[in-house]
Structure 1
Amino acid sequence: MHFITGGAFNGKRKWVKNFYAADRHLWLSAYEADALTNSSDGELPAVVVLEGLEKWIYKQIDTAFPPDTTRQNVMNQIEPWLEWEKADSYRRLVIIGTDISKGIVPVDKRERLWRDVTAWVYQDLTARAKRADVIWYGMEQTLKDE
């Protein structure tokens, strides 16, 4: 799995499109109201891109539940994608999530919870990723490359 993060409007999408330009891919985006789950009955291309992870996480934030529950629910939805990738060495799962951890801590409890859970999920993904990159101002910094 390849995890990419960075600030909003910092060129993550463009960088991924250039990096995987030679590969046929399926692009699922929370910004386009696509689902995070794999509902495809057919054969998927070699590269699947999941864009807007922070938005998918936001939809699941509920202050009535402990943060670890939401964190685990998100990872449970990503797990089938990780299994799909693991089933064939030519497959690559690419996950793009905007960094929302910088700036002023939100006053609203739900917004704070979203920020925290998102950061924890990003840590989980980075730990499991084969490659992790940060994109700032269109420039990539590799954090991890196994």
Structure 2
Amino acid sequence: MHFITGGRFNGKSEWVKDFYQLADTPHKWISAYQSESAGDLDQSLIVFEGIEAMIREWTQELEFEEIGDKWQEMLKKWLQWEKEDVNRKIVLIGADISKGIVPMEALDRKWRDAAGWAFQDAAAAADRVDLIWYGINQKIK
């Protein structure tokens, strides 16, 4: 598993496309920004972008513990899928929403906290973690 994070509109998706040479590599791109779900993992390379958007949806209907449990289940499923074939790779892309002013609205604070915890779990589970700022990566794991 490869986890990529950084600020919104800082070039994460473009960096992933270049790094994995997606123009020439069979892959499946899933976007939570377009309300797409993980669905079938029918390619050896799966890119899932917008995990903070998925977490946002969950915060409107689930409690913190339920969000954490649901996220852990997804991570376990993806890690198991990867282990079944050495050629499989999950790439998670999430915009860092943890910096800046703490939101005034309770739901926004819940989203920020839940996304931060999910990102920590993703970083812990990933083989590699990259931070992207202004289109430049910094490998942090």
* Superposed counterparts of 1:44-59, under 5 Å: 44-59=42-57
Mapping of residues 62-101 of structure 1, within 5 Å = 62=60, 65=63, 67-101=64-98
Unaligned runs of 5+ residues in structure 2 are none
* TM-score (structure 2 length as normaliser): 0.92
Corresponding residue of 1:18: 18
**TM-score normalised to structure 1 length:** 0.89
Shift of 1:63: 7.3
Cα RMSD (Å) of the superposition?
Answer: 1.5
- Equivalent residue number for residue 140 of structure 1: 137
Measure, in 1, the Cα distance between the counterparts of 2:130 and 2:62. Answer: 33
**1:105 corresponds to:** 102
The residue that corresponds to 1:28 in the other structure is 30
Residues 34/63 of structure 1: CA separation in 2 closer, same or farther (3 Å cut): closer
CA distance in 2, matches of 1:79, 1:63: 22
Q: Count the aligned residue pairs.
A: 139
Contact 2:32–2:50, Cα closer than 8 Å, also in 1: yes
Instruction: Point out where structure 1 has 5 or more consecutive residues left out of the alignment.
Output: none
